[in-house]
A = this chain, B = another copy of it.
Amino acid sequence: MRRVRSGVETRERRGRLRPLLAAARSASSDETPTLHAPRHLIRLHDLTDSELEEVLELSTRRKLRPGVNELEGRSVGMLFFRGSLRTRASLECAVNGLGAHAVNLTAMSDFWELEERDGSVMDGRSPEHIKDAAAVLSQYVDALAIRPSATGRSWDVDRRDAGISSWARHASVPVLNMESTLWHPMQALADLVTLREHLGTLPGKELAITWVRSPQPASASVVHSLLHAALRFGMKVRLAHPAGFELDEGVLAEAEKLAQKSGGSLEAVSSLEEGVRGAAIVYARSWQSIESYGNPTLAASQRSRATDWMLTESLLGETDEGKVMHAMPVRRNVEITDEVLDGPRSLLVEQAGNRLPSQKALLVHLLRHA
């Protein structure tokens, strides 16, 4: 069940929101503003094509002329159940830069484990249910940005993204996904901005998404969100990875549909050389294997067999003057060589920089209409 803010509590907020609401909703009644379900951003698909276009254009305009305190007096709660550098810093700066306030809450150091399962008898470690934490925090802030944790043990369990879904189900303010097991929509937004800055229009342009080696696998969420975003915009995507690193079947099936609809294409290859050949952009990520998910010994052995999957300058000679992207953190001389990272091909710093204006655009879009 969705909790609705009590009428009395709501009045404090409504006073503040009224001018914004007036602009956004023509026929809304003053008595029932909370009946509108909050707009969440769990994945990029939660934005329609025209909304996505609006956010992307706003990102670019915002780089040319930053807005001033458009969200003054608003606040965003940021809850981290895993570590973060870029996301934490860029989102907090985006929030502050719009005149709003960021409230940081780090699980483990600041508070406690939360229960996710509905109906559970809570006599174990967790003293609080997400349901209650979400309902309470929704009364303090205007949006909740969440970086949930995952079990790391079972792909079938983790791919359900129960953590972020629970927050979305129980919060009465917009929930923003700061990277779950399946999706990383804010990274995909910055990626789209970066791709458009370098390629102009996207339809028909060649994007290589390639696995690279690393002693420590990263989440596949970045790749999932990018894959769908690129195909939605009609790009020709080549997906390169060693055997055993196939992406989630559900994600791939949806990707195929997006390609058919947009006129884009998706091709999977098992060679790094073949993957990058002719690409305009090579996007690297050392995603974890579903085959060895939850089995660190098997996973380490699997990765150790793929030591040649690294982006080097000579390899990238095969591209069409290809640029390199990576969501970072990047392991130098393991995933990508210093030569590439410090040379003219690298878009990494610019790409990370695009988190700031694109997240500002997203916040303005979501909260202006909230």
Contact = CB atoms under 8 A, between A and B. Distances in A.
A101 B100 CA distance: 11
A154 interface: no
Complex copy number for this chain: 3
A16 interface: yes
Interface stretch (A27-35, A37-45, A136-144, A235-243): A136-144
A350 B66 contact: no
Contact of A75 (B3, B96, B330): B96
Nearest to A326: B132
A305 interface: no
A128 B328 contact: yes
Nearest to A73: B97
Contact of A108 (B9, B109, B355): B109
A352 B64 contact: no
A141 B85 contact: no
A369 interface: no
Interface string A1-42: 101011011011001100000000000000000000000000
A92 B103 contact: yes
Interface residues of A, number: 82
Interface string A307-324: 000000000000000000
B332 A115 contact: yes
Contact of A84 (B9, B110, B329): B110
Interface stretch (A118-126, A161-169, A277-285): A118-126
A64 B133 contact: no
A354 interface: yes
10 contacts: A6-B350, A12-B356, A80-B110, A85-B105, A89-B140, A123-B215, A124-B215, A132-B348, A135-B349, A135-B352
A104 B84 CA distance: 12
A356 B139 CA distance: 8
B332 A122 contact: yes
Nearest to A9: B353
Contacts of A137: 85, 89
